Amino acid sequence: MDEVKPSVVTVWPFVFSVPNVSVMFFTHTKADVSCQVPACINLVVGRLLLTVSIAWTVAEVEREEEGVLPIALAGDIDAYWADATPGVPEVGLRSALFQPTTGYSLPDAARMAEAVAAAPDLTSAAIRKMAETVSKTAWKRRSYYRLLNRMMFRACEPNQRYKVLERFYRLPQPLVERFYAGDATMGDKIRILTGKPPVPVSRAMRCLTEQSAFAVGARA
């Protein structure tokens, strides 16, 4: 049986910039739940990475924070809503509205805000019905993203995960943009999975179904 070996910390630094603003948002992301490091160490490592990787000197740090960003491997959305408080129009993460691979929820939140603003009936019952429908539709439409997450976090060795990202970011920018927006086309989906993955086929096959994420012995 090809068990996953003890994990190696994988750190992915990202830099975000806002157009026409001289402030940069730097994030270093660890895709490793087993590695619990105190926040102060993480922040020091983050700054060090910024200096070493792109040779920038930080003029001023406006704010530092640390957070955990969960991503979805699998789930039963119908059962989730069956358990939700009746009559309460839950939105945001509570309605499972987030891009499963990035964990980002802002675009969904903006769409939901627009939908609520345009809704003809603003009763709790009506908004609850709409939120539930939107949530279930999005969840079902995004099954591919959860499959990729299972491949990444259940099938791929931690010290090989960077190869998945290296390959992904060499793909055409429009594909990457559609992926982030949750709008990957069938062609995109095939292209993302085409090529020699750093994942043993046998282990990848075991991750195909959502139920596999709940199997006894499934790796965290």
Ligand X SMILES: Cc1cc2nc3c(=O)[nH]c(=O)nc-3n(C[C@H](O)[C@H](O)[C@H](O)COP(=O)(O)OP(=O)(O)OC[C@H]3O[C@@H](n4cnc5c(N)ncnc54)[C@H](O)[C@@H]3O)c2cc1C
Where does this chain bind ligand X (CB under 6 A)? 67-69, 92-93, 98, 103-106
The smaller minimum CB distance to ligand X, of residues 107 and 200, is found at 107
Shortest gap between Cβ of 215 and ligand X (angstroms)?
27
Phi-psi region of 131 (alpha: psi -120 to 50; beta: other; left: phi over 0): alpha
The smaller minimum CB distance to ligand X, of residues 106 and 190, is found at 106
Shortest gap between Cβ of 108 and ligand X (angstroms)?
8
Shortest gap between Cβ of 106 and ligand X (angstroms)?
3
The smaller minimum CB distance to ligand X, of residues 46 and 197, is found at 46
Q: What is the DSSP letter of 94?
A: G
The smaller minimum CB distance to ligand X, of residues 1 and 18, is found at 18
User: How far, in Å, are 57, 89, 129, 211 from residue 99 at the CA level?
Assistant: 33, 20, 21, 20
Residue nearest to ligand X (CB): 92
Helix (H) or strand (E) holding 145, with range, is: helix 143-150
Residues 6+ apart with CB under 8 A from 73: 146, 149, 150, 153, 154, 210, 213
